[in-house]
Structure 1
Amino acid sequence: MFHYYFNHYDSDSRTYFDGIEKMLTVEDIRNVSRLVGKDLGYQKHNRMFSNYRGRGRAFVLIASYKGRSAAYVPAVSYGCDAMNWKYDCSELSSEFWKVCRAVLLILGGLLCFQGHKMFRLTMFLIGFIFGVLITFIVVSVEHASHNGYGLISLLIGFFYGVFWLFVWWKFGVPLLSVQLTMILSGGLIASITMNQLGDYNAFALDINYWLTFSCIVIAYMIIGVAVMMHGHIVSCVVIGSYAVIAAISYYIDGNMEFIFVNFFRRVVVKNFGYAVLDPPFLIFTDTFLCIMWILLFLVGVKLQSRYQRNRSPFPPNRNVSLERPLSETTPLLYSEAYPSPPEYSATP
């Protein structure tokens, strides 16, 4: 089986018929389309594909026998109701989601270039992101449709952010506070990796997929903890740069958001491991986004590392500072037996 992507968000009839025309002969099909590589035995006659709303594509089957091949009539799908294009095929086109994308762009930039410097803000944002993701996933598992749950996810995410900021304020343990940032960035790196490997037969089984996914996250966290400050900087830049690229991708019709979309579907959609991922990739748009992503990552790491040079790895915890006021006469080695510095006399 082969499939061929049309131009993004193009419902023009000329594009439709041009796409079908390219899928009529065996030679043209093999030249312009992509071969579906996953063959899972009993699943090969009932193929499932990851749906990319508004991305039109043609599907065709080539039958071969004794060195001869013939193509079936192609079928076309836009992954939505093409007769109701404006409301059903324009993904996340409501005003609410447009505002969310703009906010994502701004906050992603802050994490990318100022994440470690603005440590307390980062703690809140990371907790907020984690809360939104967990809530949205739980809601989507419990309900087939997640319409109307965006505001609920944002509200619960806000409380998650406040809670994680409180954890830093109360305990002031960097090793504890940076774990959530590393989990999210490790999960993003694992999602990128599995998005490329997801069409291999071995990863159709959930145990193989999630075991590999978990190993990538754990390995990243071990390396990050070994160099905690730099690990936190890299984690902030990874998350922030992807947020910026995903937001820009929405405005220029790119495909970077499908990295998260396929991970999300793997969590909530039953038997999604048997679906063919093979996301669309625009040569100019997506290549530009990839190059921009790399540049953002390098610049973000460079700027944050340079700012932290000759500075304390992590900011002081406010709660500890309030409990133990610091001054010029505060002993370097603090002890409960000597809570205050000794008195010195000006005369011998």
Structure 2
Amino acid sequence: MDYLEYFFICPPLCQFPGAGGSHSAVDPGLVSSLDPGQSSVILFLSTTNSEPVSGTGVILPYSSSDPVPGGCNAEFNLNIDPNIYIHYNLYETTIRFAPANLGSMRGQAAPSCDAFGPFSQWRLEYDVFQFFLPENDLSEQSLFRALETVADTVGMVTNGNKVLTLSSADPTEAVFSSIPGQGVIYSVIVRDPVTNSSASYIPVHTYACSFSSTLDGCYTLDKISTKIFFTITGLAGLLICFFGHRFFKCELFCMGFSFIAFFFFVLISRTTELEYDVRLVLSALFGVVGGVILVMSWWRFGSVMACVVVVGLMLGFLIASTVLFTPLGDLDIFRRSDAVFWVTFSCIMIIVPLFFVRWPREGNIVTCGVVGAYAVVLAVNAFVYTSLSYITLNILKRLLNSDFSGAFTDVPFQSIDYSLLSVWLVLGASGITLQLLRERERPFFPPSPYLMWLQERERRKTNVLDPSHHCPPLPNRFFSRVKQLTQRSESAGEHTPLLL
């Protein structure tokens, strides 16, 4: 054992005294190179918080053949900096770290960081890992247990998820999709392929939210407006899932509302700095207008195929989002090129309605079942966190943030997600089956009321055998009756008008 790596985990800000050998941060860590004959190390830990705090410490020993995390630091304050620096916003979480160096024997100088070749630090490789904490669990106990589990190399490799591998020539940073309210531990393991050894950087955690903020904090992430909006959306989705094709006008309104509301939310968010609630209300108003326009276009022109294409685009959007929600969406070709991503997304989105042009009724019923059931899942997400909401949320983030393309969109998939996935599948399959059985003896689509009125009017004009053809209009019949009664009263010598 030639050097020690140790770190302390505490929710508030921790501090170590000493220039070049101290660090102030959450999840801080230090590396101490041992001198010949040294058998003990003294550490100082302090906090600026006057209230009692909880903390834990882990000591990791390494040998001279292991790489030194942060041994070639030229950017941060420590001489040897094994820490991972994390920054997050609403869309993405970025981690950065200092390059590592090769190990050395006690009492010997560390290898130069300016050297090149196969015997320098340029041969080192960096594996980036992430470990998800239990969903809906913000407790310190859960965090401490997880950090102790993945503190060393073996623990992280066994329990964590390796996201990517960086060479020494790559920038020492990685970008991930932010998941507010979901605890995530990030770690970097540096490997020396020549000596087949490795060492772990200090694991760092984030919930992508603030515990001290009274607005949009970790405990107040769910806005009332969001809960109301998605509760109504879930109820409408449940109706569409089982009765959408029967109540065709209601289905068209809901689909038109969703399509236009999503479009204007993106447009308003990218072009204005309005508050979230204002954007949500404006998007809902535009959505109502879009739903009414779609219903009125069918009522006036009766073009079922045009309406079904719009409805099919909703199913295509959800299928494309689901495909790119899988690990396929984290491929380098999609992360490095927005053009490739959006062309692929658009192709999948357009193919779906084209596929159902041959079977419009079946396509419409399938759309009702799948999209309606997913709306129920989104309604549940407004009250209980589920990763299934990120199927569409990742697309929304990419539309709103131009820099989101480079972020890894991996999310935890735990017990509640499997339960809601089962609910989605069961509701969708039940709704599709029920509507197919109920509508098999009915016309493919209900007729347009306006076109029916035109046909009825033409029929009355041309069909002289229809008794209604010989009946004068109601106003003419009324005035004719008045005239008859007046003539009758005059012939009888009455001067007082009759009571009609």
TM-score, normalised to structure 1, is 0.90
The question of 1:181 aligning with 2:181 is answered no
1:75 to 204, 208, 211: 204
Instruction: For 1:47-126, list aligned pairs within 5 A.
Output: 47-65=174-192, 66=194, 67-84=196-213, 87-90=216-219, 92-126=221-255
Supply the AA of the counterpart residue of 1:56: G
Distance 2:239 2:169 in 1: 49
Confirm or deny: 8 A CA contact 2:209 2:216 kept in the other structure. Answer: no
| 1:294 alignment counterpart | 425
Distance 1:69 1:178 in 2: 57
Distance 2:411 2:445 in 1: 40
| 2:412 alignment counterpart | 280
- Which digits, 9 at most, give the CA deviation of each residue in 1:158-216, with x for residues without a partner? 11111111111110011111111111110110000011121111111112111111111
Cα 1:256–1:59 change in 2 (3 A) is: same
- Which digits, 9 at most, give the CA deviation of each residue in 1:4-46, with x for residues without a partner? 1112232222122112112211111011111113769976522
Cα 1:258–1:39 change in 2 (3 A) is: farther
Secondary structure in structure 2 of the residue aligned to 1:276: coil
Distance 1:146 1:42 in 2: 42
Gaps of 5+ in 1: 331-337
| 1:167 alignment counterpart | 297
After TM superposition, give the deviation of residue 233 of structure 1 in Å: 0.8
| CA RMSD across the alignment | 2.3
Confirm or deny: 8 A CA contact 1:54 1:91 kept in the other structure. Answer: no
The question of 1:2 aligning with 2:134 is answered no
| 2:322 alignment counterpart | 192
Cα 1:128–1:40 change in 2 (3 A) is: farther
Cα 1:176–1:41 change in 2 (3 A) is: farther
TM-score, normalised to structure 2, is 0.64
Distance 2:240 2:220 in 1: 26
| 2:3 alignment counterpart | none
Cα 1:185–1:105 change in 2 (3 A) is: same
Cα 1:43–1:189 change in 2 (3 A) is: farther
Confirm or deny: 8 A CA contact 2:181 2:221 kept in the other structure. Answer: no
After TM superposition, give the deviation of residue 252 of structure 1 in Å: 3.2
After TM superposition, give the deviation of residue 83 of structure 1 in Å: 2.4
Secondary structure in structure 2 of the residue aligned to 1:61: strand
Gaps of 5+ in 2: 1-127, 467-500
Supply the AA of the counterpart residue of 1:308: E
Cα 1:128–1:91 change in 2 (3 A) is: farther
Distance 1:105 1:43 in 2: 45
1:36 to 138, 144, 163: 163
Distance 2:346 2:168 in 1: 27
Cα 1:91–1:5 change in 2 (3 A) is: farther
Structure number, greater radius of gyration: 2
Instruction: For 1:116-265, list aligned pairs within 5 A.
Output: 116-143=245-272, 147=276, 148-196=278-326, 197-204=328-335, 205-265=337-397
Confirm or deny: 8 A CA contact 1:190 1:213 kept in the other structure. Answer: yes
The question of 1:18 aligning with 2:145 is answered yes
Confirm or deny: 8 A CA contact 1:38 1:276 kept in the other structure. Answer: no
Distance 1:17 1:267 in 2: 36
Which has a greater percent of helix?
1
Instruction: For 1:300-339, list aligned pairs within 5 A.
Output: 300-325=431-456
Pick 1 or 2: higher relative contact order, CA cutoff 8 A, min separation 6.
Answer: 1
Distance 1:33 1:136 in 2: 36
Supply the AA of the counterpart residue of 1:311: R
Secondary structure in structure 2 of the residue aligned to 1:289: helix
